[in-house]
Amino acid sequence: MNVYRDISEVKRNVNTAITVGTFDGVHLVHRQILNKVLVLSKQNNLRCFVVTFEPHPQEVLKTKTPDIKLLTSIDEKLRLLEKCGIENVLVIRFTEQFSKTEPREFYKKYVFGQIGLCDLIIGYDHLFGRDRGGDFNTLLDLGKEFGFKVHRVEEIDVDGRPVSATRIRKALAEGKIEEANKLLGYEYSFDGIVVEGDKVGRAIGYPTVNLKFAKENKVMPNDGIYCVKVVYNNDVYYGMMYHGVRPTLTQGLKSALEVHIFDFDKTIYGEKLTISFLTKLRDDRKFNSKEELIEQINKDKENSLKFLSIKLKL
């Protein structure tokens, strides 16, 4: 996949099917849009192109959501776009000054003027430009002016409600992993860097790798214990992840993000892991003793292995 961060590096070609958006999460609706781009490009021998933004506009503007949490970092988003089959991505640096670009100016200067297009594919609720003043009707007018077709992908309902990043964030906040994964179309994940911990897990027979987020403002499921998939150096492992304040061992004074990886004994400080959530095992809670905690962790492992035995046979 070709990733451009400077629009001057993009060769203009009007024989292009293109979509524009933030695509946080690259969820089912986004995938429908991307699939339409791919279908049109294949049918009509067009170049396929995605235009996205970094940072996320809400991170810069911070108006409605000053503490915005995101489903994907730019690296995660690019990985997902590549898996979908997208061949070209332009990442436009989003700044406060750029946010003042008028809708027509954006298409004249960037999309039509610098990239070129004959087919534009957008989502059902697509808004763009200064104060999000551009909409579907704006694009129809621009299409007539600059000579491109506009295709709108309608909303997708799952279990009777529309798929959206807001709904996915809510599901994750409630620990509803299966629902979030269903809406995304893949297993929700994050990239973490392995850091040194206090080795409490090792002392109770469950050594863990301690993690810090590669990107701090990621959406995370609520506190609890989760069955997870771990990717390290392209190898796949499974394990249990703890996310919480360790009320039994540290009286809730220290937040922790740590994973016990099954059948894994490597020292990997400073390395990057990708953690994918499979299911929530239970909520976090305080136990009366270390022995009681160990007994529960034994049950957690047993439940994890039962879940994995079923899942991996599917």
Q: Are 127 and 223 contained in the same domain?
A: no
Residue 60's pLDDT is what? 87
Q: Are 126 and 204 contained in the same domain?
A: no
Residue 61's pLDDT is what? 83
Q: 3-class DSSP state for residue 210?
A: strand
In a domain, 178, yes or no: no
In a domain, 51, yes or no: yes
Q: Are 111 and 214 contained in the same domain?
A: no
Residue 289's pLDDT is what? 81
Whole-structure pTM value? 0.88
Q: Are 18 and 81 contained in the same domain?
A: yes
CATH number of the domain within which 264 lies: 2.40.30.30
CB 165 within 8 A of CB 71: yes
Q: Are 17 and 129 contained in the same domain?
A: yes
Q: Are 76 and 31 contained in the same domain?
A: yes
- 51 has which bridge partners? 20, 90
Q: Are 27 and 140 contained in the same domain?
A: yes
Q: Are 238 and 148 contained in the same domain?
A: no
- As a whole number of angstroms, the distance between CA 164 and CA 29 comes to 8
How many domains does one find in the chain? 2
Q: 3-class DSSP state for residue 223?
A: coil
Q: pLDDT by residue for the chain (314 residues), tens digit each?
A: 999 999 999 999 999 999 999 999 999 999 999 999 999 999 999 999 999 999 988 888 876 555 788 999 899 999 999 999 999 999 999 999 999 999 999 999 999 999 999 999 999 889 898 888 889 999 999 999 999 999 999 989 999 999 999 999 999 999 999 999 999 999 999 999 999 877 666 767 788 899 988 777 889 999 999 999 999 999 999 999 998 877 666 655 567 889 999 999 888 899 999 999 999 999 988 888 888 888 999 999 999 999 999 888 75
Q: Are 45 and 109 contained in the same domain?
A: yes
CATH number of the domain within which 73 lies: 3.40.50.620
Residue 253's pLDDT is what? 56
State the residue range of the domain holding 232. Answer: 187-292+302-311
Q: Are 129 and 225 contained in the same domain?
A: no
Length of the chain: 314
